[in-house]
Amino acid sequence: MAQKTYIFTHDCKAPYVEITGKPHMPQEIKFLKFRRGDQVKGELKHANNKPAFILGPKNAIIPMDCVKELVTKAVVGDIPTMASSSFDGPAQQKKSIPTNPKVRYIDAMLLGGAVGLVGVVVAEKQGWIAEPDSKYKWYGALVGAAAAAYIVYRTSNAKPRVQIVNKENLL
């Protein structure tokens, strides 16, 4: 599982076992002290399909009632100023229409296939291809469609994907 960041809601001691591996220095149970507001990265562990504790640094066992999950989000966008805001009413927010990725791929493949076909026809007219053949037109359309689908794949996966989670009462 992935480690998440947790913040302490009150002072807490978390036990951990210090293992030395030396026979003359036996194992010892020690405590990590955390204060209210401290942040720690840890992994949530379950028992009987219910959250049980947080496994923190040095494998310290942090009780669930001491911490809350810390969720952060990026602050992006335009900061409204006096010149851009209107006093007549609330500002209008931009609405994005979700696009179906399959439609984007199909559109790109159709356009790429047409560009590839036109490219082969132009190459035949210019004399760059010695013997005109219908196979070349098919190959040009397939290569164009594949290239366009790859371009759409690369541009759609190059954008950072940020999941914004609205959680109330974090502290």
Give 106-149 pLDDT, tens digit per residue. Answer: 888 999 999 999 999 999 898 888 888 889 999 999 999 999 99
Q: What is the pLDDT of residue 34?
A: 94
Which segments of the chain have a pLDDT < 50? Answer: 84-89, 170-171
Q: What is the pLDDT of residue 130?
A: 83
Give me the sign of the Cα torsion angle 161, 166, 167, 171.
positive
Q: What is the pLDDT of residue 171?
A: 47
CB atoms within 10 A of CB 59: 14
Q: What is the pLDDT of residue 23?
A: 87
Q: What is the pLDDT of residue 85?
A: 47
**Residue ranges of the domains in the chain?**
4-69, 101-158
56 burial (CB, 10 Å; 0-12 / 13-18 / 19+) is buried
